[in-house]
Chain A
Amino acid sequence: MSADTRRRDVLIRLAKAGAALGAAGLAGGLGTLSPGRRREAEPAAPPRRLEAPADGNGVPLAVARGGTPGAMVRAVVSAMGGMSRFVRRGETVLVKPNMAWDRPPDLGANTHPEVVAEVVRLCVQAGAGRVLVGDVPVHDASRVTERSGIGPAARQAGAELIVPPAAGFVLTRIGGAVLDAWEVFRPVLEADRIINVPVVKDHALTRLTCGLKNAYGFLGGTRARLHQQIHPAIADLAITFRPALTIVDATRVMTRGGPTGGRAEDVRPEWAVAAGTDAVALDAWGARLLGIDPADIPYLVLAEGRGVGSIRNGLGRLEEIRVGA
């Protein structure tokens, strides 16, 4: 066989390999578009968000007990230096409660409406241009907003209530360890600040849901697909979307049957609210309320390892503010 013949053979093989590669690439591309899906533009990058003041006013978190939910919110935000440290005049603020379940307030499945309303009022007083209260509920959105009490309370306090389908989703580059790109609720991307307002409760899959897990409500799509890798997925979200402030509602704590619950007997009145900029510390504090060692919750350990916050800051003897009734 001559050198020319061998070269021709090699070129033919390379051409076939190129064609195979092209076909494989095309097939791979089509593989991301299952029936019924539409081709999306390249995922948008997540917005660069202004970080909260680094020192948290000298304390990692503040805890208040007793009094009304509103009074406790005012006390912890004041201890953190006031809402004007986190919200600037004219900004659009997204207040993100846990507002996912068709349940009345007493069952502890959603954030207490009075906690949400007080956060809205403080944002308005701090000069926010717009205050949005939004979530991507699991149950029917219109029922959830009304039965949770959050919809009426938030509107009365001066917020705009936003739930799907009122605002759409944007395929967004997460670039995390397991979470590559996902549909993100548009207000999350468009707000200048996010104030996370979760409720502490039991969760069937993660044992705890508090601030970090509440970020699932930023997402659309079939979120259950993430349940197989829920801990690293939560850590990915914690790194990508950093709230300016987290205010944890522990006025009543669902101790079992979460996340849906349904039995008042499983709800323990705790009558506490905590706030801070260390989201991991706040979740650690919430875990202790449920009698869980935070080190036993993989997503907390992962988030801490990736620099989101410190478990230790949420433990030990924390100074609590007693709020008069």
Chain B
Amino acid sequence: MGRARRVVVGGLLALPLVVVGAWIAAGLRRPSAAPTDAPAPLEPGREGDPVVGGRALPGFPPPDADLPADRLHERVDGAEDYLRAQGCTRLLVWDLEDHGAELEVFYFRTAEAASRVFARDVGDSRSAGPGDEGWSGGGSVFFRRGSAYVKLVSVSAPPGTDEGLLGLAARVDRAIQDTEPRSS
């Protein structure tokens, strides 16, 4: 009888913990939004990231966005998991208004990873241009230099000439190479 009572009392005492545990589990399963505050300030790169990914490009203004891996969604919204899985450590973004172009530089841990992502975007087509491999046409230039993957897109209407973009892409390519000796 005494044992049965202890079991009942123990069960009653455990009930709040069960309820709280279920409540926490339900909360984890049904996410709520973080209230919308001002955009988070730019964060420095994580320790261990390639140095090249933590530097802006020589000869270019500071980037408009400097996103470590955990903030890629702010720019790519939907592709962040894929990019992180490929080893993307950082994304730098410039709005080059003087050139009517937008520049994105994705840094990866390896050149092979950068090449995979580049190939996923452009398929089998390649064209002459900057970088270890590249593609250009229709107002955009995509290329890879080492572990950096560059997307340069004309955002002016009508699009800028491919020649103009290729000249700009060549500058970007040189700037990336200038930073490479400092990479880890």
Contact = CB atoms under 8 A, between A and B. Distances in A.
B4 interface: no
Given A31-B24, A259-B78, A260-B77, 14 more contacts: A13-B9, A17-B13, A28-B27, A178-B29, A180-B31, A182-B32, A183-B34, A222-B34, A225-B31, A227-B80, A256-B123, A263-B137, A264-B137, A265-B125
Contacts of B27: 28, 32, 180
B93 to A, nearest CB: 9
B24 A226 contact: no
Interface residues of B, number: 48
Interface stretch (B51-59, B107-115, B150-158, B171-179): B150-158
5 contacts: A36-B37, A102-B95, A168-B36, A183-B36, A223-B73
A260 B142 CA distance: 14
A169 interface: yes
B23 to A, nearest CB: 7
B182 interface: no
B73 A224 contact: yes
A46 interface: no
Q: Report, as a range, how many residues of chain A touch the other chain.
A: 35 or more
Interface stretch (A123-131, A203-211, A310-318): A203-211
Interface string A237-262: 00000000000000000001111101
Contacts of B36: 164, 168-169, 183, 220-221
B125 to A, nearest CB: 8
A286 to B, nearest CB: 16
B151 to A, nearest CB: 6
B116 interface: no
Nearest to A267: B138
Interface stretch (A75-83, A88-96, A137-145): A137-145
Contacts of A106: 139, 157, 159
Contact of A139 (B9, B75, B151): B75
B33 interface: yes
Interface residue SS majority, chain B? mixed
A259 B77 contact: yes
B23 A227 contact: no
A147 B155 contact: yes
B77 A179 contact: no
A24 B20 contact: yes
A256 B121 CA distance: 8
Given A143-B95, A262-B140, A100 B13 contact: no
Given A13-B13, A17-B13, A143-B95, A227 B159 contact: no
B78 A203 contact: yes
A297 to B, nearest CB: 14
A169 B155 CA distance: 29
B3 interface: no
Contacts of A10: 9
A150 to B, nearest CB: 13
B37 A179 contact: no
Of all A-B residue pairs in the complex, the 7 with the closest CB atoms, nearest first, are A264-B138, A224-B73, A221-B33, A180-B30, A204-B79, A220-B36, A21-B16
Contact of B78 (A20, A36, A105, A206): A206
Contacts of A256: 121, 123
B81 interface: yes
Contacts of B159: 104, 106, 264
A149 to B, nearest CB: 7
A181 B22 CA distance: 18
Interface string A84-123: 0000000000000000101111110000000000000000
B133 interface: no
B155 A260 contact: no
A204 B32 contact: no
A31 B76 CA distance: 29
A224 B77 contact: yes
Given A102-B102, A169-B36, A224-B80, A20 B16 contact: yes
A40 B32 CA distance: 12
Interface string B120-131: 011101000000
A24 B24 CA distance: 10
Interface string B10-31: 0011001101100110010111
B78 A25 contact: no
A38 interface: yes
